[in-house]
Amino acid sequence: MNADLVFDLVLGAGLLWSAAGALLGRDRYGAVILFIVFGLLMTLAWVRLAAPDIALAEAAIGAGLTGALLLDALGGDSAGTAQRGASRWLLLPLAGAIAILLAGALRGLPAPSGELREAVSAALAHSGVSHPVTAVLLNFRGYDTLLEVSVLLAALLGVLGAARDARPARLSAAPLLQAATRVLVPFMLLTAGYLLWAGAHRPGGAFQAAAVLAAGAVLLALVGMLGGWTRPALRTRLAIAAGPAVFLLVAAPSFERTLLLQLPPQHAGRLILLIEAALTLSLGFILAGLFLALLRGDTAGDGQA
């Protein structure tokens, strides 16, 4: 029984336990904190699956955005209220049954053909980048990425709409936390730039860079150095629009060609960097906005620490 297998088994058990605890645990503090732990364990799982790109995104979004969103939501109402209902005890058997059915369905599958894999490695040379995941995201399946950015945009509009009549919030200043933030945020900007640049030839890229940028904004907001959004300023909206706009401008010439968003091989490298830079800006603002639009004002008892 080698160390790798033991590692996977323990990690799997931890994932199941933290997920079950987050969903079935009594009070909501425990639920949200266990869910944050679940995110950290997922990061490890992606590392085990040799998917460092996903691990980067999971780490940045889980640690920087999801946790803050959920903890902020906890503060809103009576946190710690026990969850009642006999349905909790119905739940595990039902989940077990579904899991057995699904896992059973996996057994009949033929071996993976790997056609896509081969297609990617065959076309990688003409993609303009040497990192396959980036090539898939920005070149081979660029239209998916473009539409995905529009989905994020729609989500942000929805959040802004739902939080419309909330008053503009700015948390009370926390001097010592601000001092630490002044050190951390420049490193976040640096890391975001590094990830953006790295995407061309190794794990990294616009999504991870944007997630780190958004995490920086979340931190600034949490220590009272950045106010929440009610109506984004014009500059903000332009920055949000930059990514899709550049993407479409680059796509426009490709419409006469056969494939949508097929980049000309000779310029692909530069075009991808251009698109990724614009996407990082937009996605950073969008992801940050998801938190900033939901930011509530201080309520009684806040402001310490």
Partner 1 sequence: MSSGLFYAILGCALFALGLAATLLLREALRRVLAFNVMGSGGFLVFVGLAQRDGVVDPVPQAMVLTGIVVAVAATALALALLRRLEQTDAHEP
Partner 2 sequence: MSELAAAVALFLLLNLAAALVVVARGPGAADRMLAALLFGTTGVAMLMLSALALAQPPIVDVALVLALLAAIAGIAFVRRSWRTPERTDA
Partner 3 sequence: MLDVASATLMLLGAGFFLAGTVGLLRFPDIYSRLHALTKADNLGVGCIAVALALQADGLAAGLKLLLVWPLVLLASATVSYAIAERARALGVPLDGGAPDDAP
Give min distance, CB of 279 to partner 1, in A: 11
Cα dihedral sign, 249-250-255-259: negative
Query: Please, which residue, 161 or 301, has the CB nearer to partner 3?
Result: 301
Query: Please, which residue, 171 or 251, has the CB nearer to partner 2?
Result: 171
- Within residues 185-214, the interface with partner 3 by CB under 8 A covers 187
- Within residues 78-97, the interface with partner 2 by CB under 8 A covers 79-80
Binding flag, residue 98, partner 1 (CB under 8 A): yes
Binding flag, residue 195, partner 2 (CB under 8 A): yes
Whether residue 135 contacts residue 129, with contact meaning beta carbons closer than 8 Å, is answered with yes
Rounded CA separation 233/241 (Å) = 12
Rounded CA separation 120/47 (Å) = 21
Binding flag, residue 105, partner 3 (CB under 8 A): no
Rounded CA separation 71/213 (Å) = 20
Binding mask 62-81 for partner 1 (x = CB under 8 A): ---xx--xx--xx-xx----
Nearest 10 degrees: Cα torsion 167, 232, 175, 61: 110
Query: Please, which residue, 8 or 302, has the CB nearer to partner 3?
Result: 302
Rounded CA separation 47/219 (Å) = 26
Q: What is the DSSP letter of 268?
A: H
Which residues, in sequence order, are CB contacts of 67 under 8 Å at separation 6+?
32, 36, 39
Part of the chain binding partner 2 (CB under 8 A), chosen from 58-66, 144-152, 155-163, 255-263: 58-66
Part of the chain binding partner 1 (CB under 8 A), chosen from 87-95, 185-193, 229-237, 258-266: 87-95
State how far Cα 130 lies from the chain centre.
Answer: 23
Give min distance, CB of 182 to partner 1, in A: 26
Task: Select the residue interacting with partner 3 from 11, 79, 177, 274 (CB under 8 A).
Answer: 177
Task: Select the residue interacting with partner 2 from 152, 171, 251, 290 (CB under 8 A).
Answer: 171
Task: Select the residue interacting with partner 3 from 184, 239, 241, 277 (CB under 8 A).
Answer: 184
Query: Which residue in this structure is represented by tokens 């937009």?
Result: 282
Query: Which of left, alpha, beta for 303 (phi over 0: left; psi -120 to 50: alpha)?
Result: left
Can you read off the two tokens belonging to residue 175? 């001097």
Query: Please, which residue, 174 or 273, has the CB nearer to partner 2?
Result: 174
Which residues, in sequence order, are CB contacts of 194 under 8 Å at separation 6+?
204
Of the candidates 302, 286, 187, which has an alpha carbon nearest to the alpha carbon of residue 242?
286
Binding site for partner 3 (CB under 8 A): 174, 176-177, 180, 183-184, 187, 304-305
- Which residues bind to partner 2, rule: CB under 8 A? 3-4, 6-7, 10-11, 13-14, 17-18, 21, 25, 27, 29-30, 32-34, 36-37, 40-41, 43-44, 47, 50, 52, 55-56, 59-60, 63-64, 67-68, 71-72, 74-75, 79-80, 171, 174, 177, 180, 184, 187-188, 191, 194-195, 198, 202-204, 208, 212, 215, 218-219, 222-223, 301-302, 305
